[in-house]
Amino acid sequence: MNNSENPDLSNDSAWRELTAPDSDFYTSSILSDFGWNLHASSDHHHPLGSGLTQTELIPTSSCSSSAAAASVTVTEVSTISKNPSATSSSGEDPTENSTSQTPKKEKKKAQKRIRQQRFAFMTKSDVDNLEDGYRWRKYGQKAVKNSSFPRSYYRCTNSRCTVKKRVERSSEDPSIVITTYEGQHCHQTVGFPRGGIFPAHDPHNITSHHHLPPPLPNPHYYQELLHQLHRENTSSPPLPQSTTEDGHVSVSSINPSEEGLLGDIVPYTMRNP
DNA sequence: CGCTTTTGACCAGCGC
DNA sequence: GCGCTGGTCAAAAGCG
């Protein structure tokens, strides 16, 4: 994959593989832990089909533009404040700030606002718009430079929720969907009214524990997430390495006690206050 | 009828 | 300053 096409994933950083064969599990785990319930259970139970094959957790702070990943990837993208005067609590849609006499230009000016924390998920899937438990309204689509696939822009349909997401396909591997979430939901999921239902007995479905959006992601939250992944990973027979059907090899070396992935996400000093 | 999607236009930011 | 690109708006069309 050419990450230079996606500014969010193009930083000079090392891609670290976190995982393991059971990607669906991690996909659900990671997304739900960030307040998202990705509908990504096992192949026969969800509309994503059998596309999900592998999972990765990638800290943008140390990403590289190297290897492509046939999998699900989670990337903390950025936390950029473009408007110092703005606050997260006032991060409403700019149109709400406009007055009745406000022309388009004024709206555009008001548009300068905080860019909230973003997370990018790379998901190998045939479905562009992955079901994540929330309802989205598409508000734009743009052709992306160096990519033959357009990028779609979605907003949460909840009027008080400012969360947005962008969905695009990797130009190098069209089977990979890059979903970038920005912001945090201020409400619970709406379930899967359009047909997606988690089987209650699905052993991979752990999202039921995470109906409430988590607090704003922070280093401690990453730590908890990774510890959780580690626990789940070690509760079953060891899976130090796996090879997916399409030849991608995933080596898991999750050890929260050592430098590694965690070190990329959470500075040592923050992990050991 | 209400909501969602489509799509062209507009604007801001950035690099040169 | 200029051109390019990403992000957003908003009217029109589509859909259930």
Kindly determine whether the C-beta of residue A11 is less than 7 Å away from any atom of nucleic acid strand B.
Answer: no
Instruction: Give residue A115's pLDDT.
Output: 59
CA dist A161 and A47 (Å) reads: 26
> Are the beta carbons of A14 and A65 closer than 8 angstroms?
no
pLDDT at A96 > cutoff 50: no
pLDDT at A138 > cutoff 50: yes
Instruction: Give residue A151's pLDDT.
Output: 92
Confidence of residue A141 (pLDDT cuts 50, 70, 90): very high
Counting residues of chain A whose pLDDT is more than 70, the rounded percentage is: 25
Tell me the two tokens of residue A207: 């999202």
Tell me the average pLDDT across A71-96.
43
Counting residues of chain A whose pLDDT is more than 90, the rounded percentage is: 4
Å between CA of A36 and C1' of B3: 23
CA dist A16 and A68 (Å) reads: 11
Residue A153: which nucleotide is closest by CA–C1'?
C7
The pLDDT tens digits for A2-45 are 443 343 443 333 333 333 333 333 343 344 434 444 333 333 33
**Average pLDDT over chain A, rounded to an integer:** 50
Phi, psi of A151 (to 5 degrees): -105, 130
Instruction: Of A182, A155, A222, A172, give the one whose Cα is nearest residue A68.
Output: A172
pLDDT at A90 > cutoff 70: no
> Which of A23-32, A75-84, A151-160 is predicted most confidently?
A151-160
Phi, psi of A122 (to 5 degrees): -100, 120
Instruction: Give residue A146's pLDDT.
Output: 82
The pLDDT tens digits for A48-72 are 333 333 334 333 333 333 333 345 5
Name which of A122-126, A144-148, A152-156, A255-259 the model is least confident about.
Answer: A255-259
A138: CB partners within 8 A, 6+ apart: A152, A153, A154
CA dist A119 and A106 (Å) reads: 30
pTM: 0.54
Kindly determine whether the C-beta of residue A111 is less than 7 Å away from any atom of nucleic acid strand B.
Answer: yes
Instruction: Give residue A133's pLDDT.
Output: 77
Kindly determine whether the C-beta of residue A136 is less than 7 Å away from any atom of nucleic acid strand B.
Answer: yes
Kindly determine whether the C-beta of residue A112 is less than 7 Å away from any atom of nucleic acid strand B.
Answer: yes
Kindly determine whether the C-beta of residue A82 is less than 7 Å away from any atom of nucleic acid strand B.
Answer: yes
Instruction: Give residue A71's pLDDT.
Output: 52
Footprint of strand C on the protein (CB under 7 A): A 5, 7, 93-95, 98, 104, 107-108, 111, 139-145, 151, 153, 164, 166
